Structure 1
């Protein structure tokens, strides 16, 4: 028996060329498999036949991470400072905010992970295995090297194995290779083309689409080719997301600003107002609290969570909250072709004969683009060449029509994608398949194999003759044809005919389509069984059945949106170069001038040469797993933010390496889903575009929140500055607890409302934000402090002085305590709150009018506005809270003044946005005119 260590060192595919007796000897096995005793012993040595998932962090570590970010640490420290300085209420409030932030973030992450875990599929559950000389069903995780097992059409292959016997076996290896056409397999060795193409080997993670076979298990679990790719995936460590990096940077910036201003106010209060150090420290602490955006973390989390919920409704499951924002800044999407951009479903689009070309569509047939035939019109009988082609493709076919167990009363077609497509084509023409099968049942079959590249069936004809039907690759069949059928008549095939047939085939190949040649003959052969060579000779050529894996209907618009958003799409597929380019051009990913790089060419390229190729339109075809990983790595080295899509095991390393990996939920393998950051439950490329839109909305909402929360800093700081620079002549218009009221009370819910704002209509017309662009940009600082903040500071300061003057005070007799001082500070606080009502409405859009998105469309913002007004009323009318926050009740006249504040502030900003849009349009017009002139 082979030793466990040897099994790990020796690749499974090396057994393909060894003599079968030698392989049996190495594994101490035989045609009848293993005994139960042998299997138990080997299971202990090799372990269960399972693919290990990426090691997950312990839940307690994930939970604690939400309390140890830079912003969280800053809040913990602020709370400690507040408590040490004697303001216990302030410290507890800051800590409560931190605890709520962390719990909320963990809850959202946990819910997303639960949803993902529930949908991830596992490898096949049961396999028919020979144990103790009996065929029995066993859990596939108990398979061991040396086991002999059976496979039939529809079975998933659980291990790497050597084929012992096979009948018409075809295997879908797209999960490993990306190639959509099934591979033919048999017991004889042939190398095949590309990876995993050995004819006598099958691999874990693939599936049987046709035929049956018995196999000897060569490798299980993580020792399979499937498992090795999974190991490569596990070795790739995920780095911090761009949003995490940017939030850390923002926290550092705001910390420097807050503590810098706090230090300045501390020194100023000692030098100008002659405060004692302890009192000056409390005063400075108020400024630090004012400039720390305590609501940043919950707003970011809420914005991400809202985006996750909206994406779930659009068939995209996000595993980590930060992933959705990362997708919003993607500059490149590396996309697989099969099943991602295309339907992974072969479809016949033309039937070519010498007399006519029949175009096949969902509605039926068009003959030379003119006559329409459908299932209600049996006029195809007037086209004998078409009828003969449909007869061949229907009878010379392994696909079967049977009841669909998932949909009672309905039927489905079971078989290879190619043969299912042939059946569907006949049904579109109204061809009576059941009647044809009854009239001419199959007498004999010469199965498809990789050497002949054709399949032949023999059926009864009239007068004891036999009808031989053949379909297969044109290059192998054309030399076997002596005649050609035209309008139902047979004539000798000429060189001109051959040239015409080959020209048609080349034309279809240039479109990325695959052609299947159809031929037949009627034989006077009395023998019970006809040899393959005798059956496949002196044939009558009928025509070509042309098919392709068509693009998804939604992908055209999705690709155009990516172009509008300045996002490049690079196709990276295991399919042929010709097919890849034709699909890329057809759906608009690239033009005809795109460079096509094959896996062999890529292998010879240096990284510098690859980066040059990546700088222009490029398509990658016939790539190996590690090559897709290399492409993603080099794109990242060029500064690109890379989203990589895929469904197969071969995609998993690239999915994990990418800034965001996107796996297919229906067709995707377990390894791909485990490696990905996001899973598309409908396998629809268009859902990626919707996710990009949501990701951009998330980032925009964080900026809107930042603008909103910072603009209140000015009216909080200006009163204190007036107090300092007048050396205390102007009493402090706003206390530390009142500043806290704005930051942790009235501002919080409206800010959270901004986090749920939907994407603005023009978000997909803008380029991705540069990686060097930051959340705290100059225009945000200017708007926050020099525009919104300045207006709010002016109004709140006016409210303070206006209240003093209305109550009989002058510049020299401003109240420093007592009822008048309380009412003045209350009005200052209230004026800031009502200025913030206008600010939150203004922050809902960056340049568009708020009316264009619906002034009442965000109910969360309006709920926040209602809450802050109610909270303000509670603070100024509740006796206990009046003492804590230095407030007092105000009259109807004051309320009318406050209610009037938001209206002009809102309208002024609307007018500024209008002028900004007009200026932008004018500049754009001048740019366009200049471009035309040059």
Structure 2
């Protein structure tokens, strides 16, 4: 057998004989030898994963970012400047950060791989006329296999036989209502709607069938979409781009400062060229933020850990921050915003209407019945409708490891649950009214009928189906006073109710019956002698309900100025009503663009349409991709959610793809950046908050390390501007001690800071915004930095004053000079104690987040005090860093630094908040 040139959709129009002939098989199936030959020819029936990055390449990428390269160069410069210990320390920081980043992403990927379970493990095939159980990977084109309710479908296949077969295709189409399948060809409406074709990755909801595999593995529709996903290149995340930009900025600042200090040292202080060069190299290393990469990595990793506790699994660290920047969420409907479980919420009877609540019924909005308390003896029409809904039903309960599971179509499951809410047991009803036979559902008459035996020996014909096709078979109606002839008015009212339900996105099933005395029972029950002279009882209206938590999640997204756009394969009416119900759009009258309309729209027309409230329905996979791509072209940062195969291309294209972990297909999970392990859309809101927090924490860290650079630089500037009359108050080794020693742990603690109050009431940051903002530079250089510079300089002159300055010259060597430089170093450290607390919030009071709530910062403060104390009193460290002990007067000076510095900043924040509050009031 050669490779098929015709698709399953093309074969759907052929009769069985032609299809079996083209596939060179028969109803007995393939022989074992032929099946093996085809397996060798076509390959295993599985979805090939996209070519994954090698572990070595994944490991090395953590050491080749611009910031990592800058640190490698910084280490070389330190060694060249005669400070090998410092150079090695910088390299160690780089190595530790790279290993940590790799391990975090490796662990996340391992967790993701454990979720990749979509296709079934086994399938029952006919091989040489015998039924065998084989692994699905061994299924080949031409294999004839059997299906029953609950089975996942392993290949695109042509139906040879079908009994009451309905297939859940939501993984491919996003359509929550199952498709009826039969051997008779019907093209249906929309994609994948052919009645006699079933597709890989979908599930049999009800009935049984026999099919012949046409396309397997990557040749299936499932595989075709997987290819589209895998061919999509993933671009750098916004955080990666911004960190590269920041690295360039900091490199320019560091090199610029190095050149400036070199020129000043040569021209003003008249340093020899070699000495000035080493001095300048030291300053360059001092201005490189060695702790930036570890802080960013730790912030992201802690965000990942917090999100994992909230059931959100992030595969790459940078995805955390990207989600925080999201401006638009393109969300699937079925299984994402809704529960993917049809639920009856209205029952219409000719004389009344019942609303069905979570645990009972409401009669015309007045009387509520709960569970077993429903008095069905006073509601005979309601009782009969519930009984027939349970009897005329093929859904069954299967006991599994996770408890009982309803096995059947969502529609029939909804009818079963409705009966159980009233205290009726389907099993008990089945024993009381045993089934005699069944007239299966088909798409022509759109009805299903069972004949059940009554306790008195008579028979009851139970019918459910489409109202439009049922009314013609009804001659009577069940009213509060009993059965009576049906009138045109009855039919009009029933049709109007169905129309009204449809306009609100509800699907209806009509229920009817007829009792037949045993003496009049035919020898054989047929459609013609059963589905006539029926009595209409009423209708059950149902919908796929929204997830309970979705309402609050959508509200929070709106408060955070994040737009949600529903993109679904479901019908326009259902999509519009669900979107309005949960608050995505303000009205069900919002514009709905179907896939057909979208295919005819130009890019400019689509961009114009995005200016208004918008919903997309009946869209194909390629069109979801187009929607995401267009939004990105408009400058939006897009998150795309989904669970089906049809969502995968958009998930891959989006800035961040969010897949459902429970109901999601493996293709969707593989394409996504984040997986919700509980399928809870609300977890996305928590992830957005974490993402924003991570970005703010990086800015806080940046402010913190830059302001220490000012405190370090001011004494050196005084040395240069005084032409050396003021000896260098802080040596290069002491400066680097601050950067790599005392500052590091408190800075890492900033990466663990929790969300600042009101963070979700702010709009997403603009794409043009950068980490190094004017606000960050003002606080770092002009505010915190200058305070630190003044304090460190004051400490230097305080020690010299104790030894006679200004009547005596400033010491340039000896014990007094060592003590003065040690004091300058300690002043910078103690100023940084206050600054790390100040940097915990940008404008909110630190007291509002808990003064001592961040134990990592508290530990960091204790650690830096320990380090600076060790530098003062440990002989070995004294010799390396040119430090000495301080007296009680200096310690008293140091202890008094943090509190006023902290309170001054609290006053500034208070003034800013008051000003903003006043501006908002105006």
TM-score range, shorter chain: over 0.9
CA contact (8 A) 1:665 1:679 kept: yes
Match of 1:705 in 2: 701
* Cα distance between partner residues in 1 of 2:397 and 2:112: 35
Match of residue 497, structure 2, among 478, 498, 504: 504
Aligned residue for 2:227, secondary structure, equals helix
Q: Return the alpha-carbon distance in structure 2 between the equivalents of residues 712 and 62 of structure 1.
A: 34
2:485 is the counterpart of 1:492: yes
Equivalent residue, structure 2, for 1:148: 144
Q: Does 1:686 align with 2:682?
A: yes
Q: What is aligned with 1:756?
A: 752
The residue that corresponds to 1:474 in the other structure is: 467
Q: Select which of 516, 523, 530 maps to 1:523.
A: 516
Q: Distance in 2 between matches of 1:873 and 1:211?
A: 78
CA deviation map 1:716-753 (0-9, x unaligned)? 11111101111100000000100100101100000000
- 1:569 aligned residue (542, 564, 567): 564
Structural mapping, 1:429-828, within 5 Å: 429-461=422-454, 465-487=458-480, 489-524=482-517, 525-592=520-587, 593-810=589-806, 813-828=809-824
**Distance in 2 between residues matched to 1:416 and 1:556, nearest whole Å:** 27
CA deviation after TM superposition for structure 1 residue 11, in Å: 2.0
Give a deviation string over 1:637-656, Cα, whole Å, max 9, x none.
Answer: 11110000000000000000
SS at match of 1:443: strand
The answer (yes or no) to whether the contact 2:561–2:762 under 8 Å persists in 1 is yes
Task: For residue 411 of structure 1, report the CA deviation from its aligned partner.
Answer: 4.2
Deviation digits for residues 597-630 of structure 1 (CA, Å, limit 9, x no counterpart): 1111111111111111112100001111111110
Distance 1:256 1:190 in 2: 68
Cα shift at 1:534:
2.1
CA contact (8 A) 1:385 1:488 kept: no
Question: Is structure 2 residue 218 aligned with structure 1 residue 222?
Answer: yes
Q: Report the CA distance between 1:910 and its aligned residue.
A: 0.6
- The alpha carbon displacement at 1:82 in A equals 2.1
Q: What is the Cα deviation at residue 122 of structure 1?
A: 4.1
The secondary structure found in structure 2 opposite 1:376 is helix
**Equivalent position SS for 1:716:** helix
8 Å CA contact retained: 1:444, 1:529: no
Match of 2:209 in 1: 213
Q: Which deviates further from its counterpart, 876-885 or 107-116?
A: 107-116
Q: Any conservation in 1 of the 2:389–2:464 contact (CA below 8 Å)?
A: yes
Partner Cα distance (1:27, 1:363) in 2: 52
Q: Provide the C-alpha distance between the structure 2 equivalents of 1:706 and 1:737, rounded to a whole number of angstroms.
A: 22
Structure 1 residue 795 displacement after superposition: 0.6
Q: Give the distance between the partners of 2:689 and 2:119, measured in 1 at CA.
A: 34
Task: Confirm or deny that 1:880 pairs with 2:886.
Answer: no
> How far does residue 77 in structure 1 lie from its aligned partner after superposition?
1.2
TM superposition shift of 1:670: 0.4
Shift of 1:491: 1.5
- Equivalent position to 1:899, from 895, 899, 904: 895
**Secondary structure of the corresponding residue to residue 400 of structure 2:** coil
Q: State the shift of 1:811 in Å.
A: 6.5
Cα distance in structure 1, aligned partners of 2:14 and 2:90: 71
Q: Secondary structure at the match of 1:138?
A: strand
Which residue matches 1:171? Answer: 167
CA distance in 1, matches of 2:821, 2:456: 111
Give the unaligned 5+ runs of structure 2.
Answer: none
Query: Partner of 1:930 in structure 2?
Result: none
Q: How far has the Cα of 1:84 moved from its partner?
A: 2.2
Which deviates further from its counterpart, 373-382 or 738-747?
Answer: 373-382
Aligned to 1:421: 414
Q: Which whole-Å deviations, capped at 9, do the CAs of 1:240-289 have from their partners, x for residues lacking one?
A: 00000000000000100110111010011000111111110111122212
Q: Distance in 2 between matches of 1:469 and 1:782?
A: 78
Equivalent positions of 1:405-420 (< 5 A) are: 405-407=400-402, 411-420=404-413
Instruction: Give me the whole-angstrom Cα distance separating, in 1, the residues matched to 2:769 and 2:357.
Output: 49
Q: Which moved more, 1:709-718 or 1:373-382?
A: 373-382
CA distance in 1, matches of 2:821, 2:39: 78
From 365, 369, 390, give the equivalent of 1:373: 369
TM-score under structure 1 length normalisation: 0.97
C-alpha separation between the residues in 2 aligned to 1:557 and 1:432? 35
SS in 1 for 2:760: helix
Q: Displacement of 1:812 after TM fit? A: 5.6
Please report how far the alpha carbon of residue 495 of structure 1 lies from its aligned counterpart in structure 2 after TM superposition.
1.6
Larger mean Cα displacement after TM superposition, 609-618 or 319-328: 609-618
**1:79-98 map, 5 Å:** 79-98=75-94
- In the alignment of these two chains, the number of paired residues is 919
TM-score computed with the length of structure 2 as normaliser: 0.98
Question: Is it true that 1:52 corresponds to 2:48 in the alignment?
Answer: yes
Task: Give the equivalent residue in structure 2 for 1:859.
Answer: 855
Change (3 A) 1:355 1:638: same
CA contact (8 A) 1:172 1:207 kept: yes
Shift of the alpha carbon at 1:498?
Answer: 1.4
Is 2:660–2:669's contact at 8 Å kept on the other side of the alignment?
yes
Q: Distance in 2 between matches of 1:222 and 1:445?
A: 39
Q: How does 1:228-377 map onto structure 2 within 5 Å?
A: 228-377=224-373
Following the alignment from structure 1 to structure 2, what is the Cα–Cα distance between the partners of residues 533 and 290?
92
Distance 1:57 1:41 in 2: 32
Give the root-mean-square deviation of aligned CA atoms: 1.2
Tell me, yes or no, if the aligned pair for 2:641 and 2:657 is still in contact at 8 Å: yes
User: What CA distance in whole angstroms lies between the structure 1 residues aligned with 2:651 and 2:826?
Assistant: 52
Q: Is the 8 A contact 2:757 2:844 kept in 1?
A: no
Q: Secondary structure in 2 aligned to 1:72?
A: helix
Greater Cα shift, 825-834 or 468-477: 468-477
- 1:85·1:278 contact (CA, 8 Å) conserved in 2? no
**Does the aligned pair in 1 maintain the 2:354–2:364 contact within 8 Å?**
yes
Which sections of structure 1, spanning at least 5 residues, go unmatched? 927-934
Q: Residue 13 of structure 1: CA displacement? A: 1.8
Find the partner of 1:390 among 383, 386, 399: 386
